[in-house]
Amino acid sequence: MVLGIDLGTTNSLVSYYTEDGPKIIPNRLGERLTPSIVSVDEDDQIYVGKTAYERMLLYPNTCAAVFKRDMGSDKQFELGSHKFTAEELSSFVLRSLKEDAEAFLGEKVTEAVISVPAYFNDKRRKATKRAGELAGLKVDRIISEPTAAAIAYGLYNTEGNSKFLVFDLGGGTFDVSILDYFDPILEVRAVAGDNYLGGEDFTTAIENIFFERNKDIKREELSVKELKRLRKACENLKINFGDALVSSMSVKLNDETYDMELSLHDYEKALEPLYERIRIPVKKSLSDAHLKLSEIDKIVLVGGATKLPGVRRFVAKMFKNMPDTSVNPDEAVALGAAIQAAIKERDQSIKEVILTDVCPFTLGTEVVVDMGDHQYEDNHYCPIIERNTVIPVSRTERMYTIRDNQTMLNVNILQGESRFARNNIELGNLEVTVPKNKAGAESVDVTYTYDINSILEVEITVVSTGQKYKQIIKNNETDMTDEEIEQRFKELSYLKIHPRDQEENKLLLLRGEKLYSETLGMDRQEIDSKLKKFEIALQSQDKRIIEKERKELKEFLDMWEEL
């Protein structure tokens, strides 16, 4: 028996496949949803789920929640006298689900298919796999949540060719995936998302309104227990909105009871920044898939936060189409994971479907660029496997020496979307020895191979000797979170520019950098070429040349942004 597991930010579920289709396995309390919360008591007893949730209200310092957002990082969560990583906390949740499944099925379970957000990077996926192994599960397949949801909706049973957009807004993460079905292949065309956007942020919006209206209460002066109590009250207010125009809450803080009534209008206004963040991945995924909204045949809602009426109204308005909500959005991913587990076991009662996924981030290496007049500049990024390339995939780029008698090439293995190597994440590094020769006479073939479980293999072949170097990227040590990466991206340091022109020129470079990160293939090369030309002009410090190139670059960017 291979289980299907949805390891969620807010709630987790476990499922299995039967002759009547996929089924959710109830936990030890007879409930389908298990809160993704862990608590440890004074006797070192670990609690998971609803019990941990109740303990969180009484002993908040011994509990951890929403840790999925930090999966793959070195962040430590303090539970009493203990410290755990998000990976370790997730393993406790997975072990609890495994035990519930064994009790329900009456047999030992050792394998599982576990879902992850489509936008989880390499390290987060590996951390999820290791969490499963720590829980005593063999995890041969990690499946993207939107792909699992698409399977659960039976999209692969659709007649003819169809294009689907899966809108997955959970408790802590947001994914949008575009899939194309042409029998018997279900192909992911593009993915995008935000690992720090979900239903928890909708609750935070209500919290912020509460503090704005009650300025005598300072967030930092409240105890952890009072903050948890306030959080629960805000969560209930959010859920109780339903189709009502007004919702209310009551909470006791500092021995005083505070009541708040919130209109739907004020609530929706507070959510506008979140809705704007939702639009960005939607536009990005459509652009990468080279599709228009009118070409999407069906929009599917997944994730607990999509049950909120406001979210459904927003989606219907944005897509100008009513989304499909026929499958419980809380359960769709787990049910799809169970079907994938059955496909893996080659269950005869299920239709065989070929699933293809994509690489969510661009993978490449650092290169040195000829700026003219034998002047070379390092720190440039050479994409090898671009984001949203169907996997498994293998790509090769040929690199050349740049100095006479050069004997060493250093290949940085990078992941990210920036033009500059230093702003991307380093996954590994390989040093390659080459024979002495004239500049450009020696070369190496750099091959990246990325499989369905997000294992990256890098192979470098010295063309003249045939010598091979290989590295498999499984457990890279970078501990940057998405927030840190974003901060690093904002701190881009460009060429030194004359003070009189700095702001105007820097703005153009930033616009070009943003456009580069949003495009692929030949478009990316064209933008990179234009930016390099402008950067060479800036190096000249010649005002006439800078003004001429600035005008040309501005016209080029304006034209692109109007498309």
17 Ramachandran zone, left/alpha/beta (phi>0; psi -120 to 50): beta
DSSP 8-state symbol, 296: -
Residue 329: C-alpha distances to residues 74, 167, 168, 170 (Å): 31, 10, 9, 9
Exposure of 180 in the CB half-sphere (CA atoms within 13 A): 13
Task: List, as one string, the DSSP characters of 511-542.
Answer: HHHHHHHH--HHHHHHHHHHHHHHHHHHHHT-
CA-based angle 89:94:95, to the nearest 5? 95
Distance of alpha carbon 4 from alpha carbon 154, whole angstroms: 16
Distance of alpha carbon 519 from alpha carbon 528, whole angstroms: 11
Distance of alpha carbon 403 from alpha carbon 416, whole angstroms: 28
| Nearest residue to 434 (alpha-carbon basis) of 396, 472, 402, 470 | 402
| Nearest residue to 155 (alpha-carbon basis) of 270, 370, 299, 276 | 299
Task: List, as one string, the DSSP characters of 231-243.
Answer: HHHHHHHHHHTTT
Active-site positions read 6, 68, 145, 168
For the chain, give the number of residues.
Answer: 563
- The two three-digit tokens of residue 203, written as one number: 């609750």
DSSP 8-state symbol, 373: T
- The two three-digit tokens of residue 145, written as one number: 């949540």
Buried b (16+ CB within 10 A) or exposed e, 153-186: bebbebeeebbbbbbbbbbbbbbbbbbbbeeeeb
